[in-house]
Chains A and B, each alone.
Chain A
C-alpha cells in the first residue's frame, strides 16, 4: 500500500504506473491534464483545485458518492461546463482556454469546438436526436462537422451499427427502440466521430436491469478492440474492474485515492473508499 495512492494534493496520473506527478510511463503519452481545476455551483465547491492526468489509450473509471464531482469532470471535458479556476488540456492544447497575444483567455466557441471534436460522450439518458432516424443520428455530425463524404459516413455508420448489433434498425426513429438499443446507438454515434477520448456518464443507470449486460458487454468489446482513451463514471463495479487501467475515488471534489482496480477494490487505502465500496457492492 503505497502513500502515492492516497495523496489528494499531487496529480494522479491515471492509467500509468501511478507515479503521482512523475514522468509519463515509457511509451505512454499524456492526453488529458487538469491543472488546479476548481468548479463551483453557487457556494458549493464541486471540484477543488483538481490536478489530474490521463494517458493516451487508457481506461479510467471515476467512482465516488453522488455529488463528489465525477460527472462534473466529464462535463468539463465536454465543455458543457467551464471551470471557475484552472486549465484543462487535451493532447497539449488548451480546451477551455486559448492563448491570444501571449495571454490565456477563455476559449471562443469556435476554438473549443475544434479541440472537442476529439472527444465523444455517451450520456445517461442516451440523448439521441428524436427527429432523426438511427442512420442519420450516426451520419449527421460526421458529414456536417467533420466534412466527411455522405457515402463514406453512411458506410462507417453501417459498420458501427453492425458492431452494436442494430443493423436491422437503421431506418427507425429512436422512439421505436428500447432503452438498451438506444444506448447502443448512442455509443455508435459517439464512435462515428472517431474520438480520441470517449466519456461514459453512467451509461447504464437509466436502463432496465435486463438491458444493462448487453451495453456493458459492448463497452468491454470496444475497450478491448480499440485504442480509445475512456473515462467512465459508473456504479457497476464489476465492469469498472474489468475494463479499467486505473480507478479514481472521488470525495468532496477531490481524488482521495487512485490505482489499478485490483488494488483499489481489494485493498483500498482510504477509509472513505472502503465505506463507499462496501455500500455499493
Chain B
C-alpha cells in the first residue's frame, strides 16, 4: 500500500468517476431501450412484437465484449465515422442491458391483472391512458428489484470498457498495478470500490422500491438486515389465553 502515491490514488479516483459516468449514461440508455422494447413486445400488432422480439433475442444472445469491439472497429468501416471509446461503450452496454431490461418490463406488465385493464375499458380510458395511468404505475413496483440486479450487473459490466482504453476503475487499476508491480493491494482496493458503488446503488434502489410500493398502497418492505435493528426486543404477544367455550376437543 505504501507504494501507492497520491498520483496513483488520483488515477483510481478518476477511474471511479468514469465508471460512475459510464453506469449513469448506460443505465439511462438501457432504461429507454427497456421500456421501448418491453412495451413493443406487448403490442397488439404482431409485426411490432416480432421486431422487438428479434431485437431482444439478438442483443441477449451476443457477447457485450464482442459487440463493443464491433461498435468500435466495424461500425466505422460501414458508416465512415468513428465513435469515441466512451460512447461505443455506452451504446453497447445500454443496448445490451436494455434488452435484458425489456424482459423485466414485459414480465411486469403481464403480471398486472387483466381485470385492471377491463376496469380501464369500463371507464372508457384510451389504450394509451390505460397504459400510463393504470398498467405502468402498477407494474413499476415489480420492476424495481430486477432493475436493481441489472443495474449492479451493468456497473460491473463497465469493467469491459477498459479493453478499449477508457479510463475507468478497472483501467486505472491496471495502470497502478503496472506502476507498482503489486497486484494484491490494487485489486483488493478496486474490489472494495466496486462493492461500495454497488452497495450505494442498492440502497438507492431500495428507496425507489419503497416509494414505488407506497404508491400502490403497499407497506414498505423489511429493511436490509445490514441495518441495525433499534427498539426493544421481546415477545410479539403477551397475555394468557383462555380456552374458548365450545371448543372442539
Contact = CB atoms under 8 A, between A and B. Distances in A.
Interface string A114-128: 001101110101011
Contacts of A174: 217
A107 B226 CA distance: 57
B124 interface: yes
A129 B134 contact: yes
Interface residues of B, number: 20
A140 B133 contact: yes
A120 B118 CA distance: 12
A113 B137 CA distance: 22
B116 A113 contact: no
A78 B125 contact: no
Contacts of A119: 122
Contacts of A145: 123-125, 129
A127 B121 CA distance: 11
A176 B217 CA distance: 7
Nearest to A119: B122
- Which secondary structure characterizes the binding site on chain B? helix
Contacts of B124: 113, 116-117, 141, 145, 193
Contacts of A117: 124
Interface residues of A, number: 31
Given A128-B119, A141-B124, A141-B125, 18 more contacts: A78-B118, A109-B126, A109-B127, A116-B121, A116-B124, A120-B122, A123-B118, A123-B119, A127-B115, A127-B122, A129-B119, A131-B134, A131-B217, A133-B217, A141-B123, A144-B129, A172-B217, A174-B217
22 contacts: A78-B118, A109-B127, A113-B124, A113-B126, A117-B124, A120-B122, A123-B118, A125-B115, A127-B115, A127-B118, A128-B119, A131-B138, A131-B216, A140-B123, A141-B123, A141-B125, A144-B133, A145-B124, A173-B217, A174-B217, A175-B218, A193-B123
A-B interface, 3 closest residue pairs, ranked by CB to CB distance from nearest: A173-B217, A141-B123, A127-B119
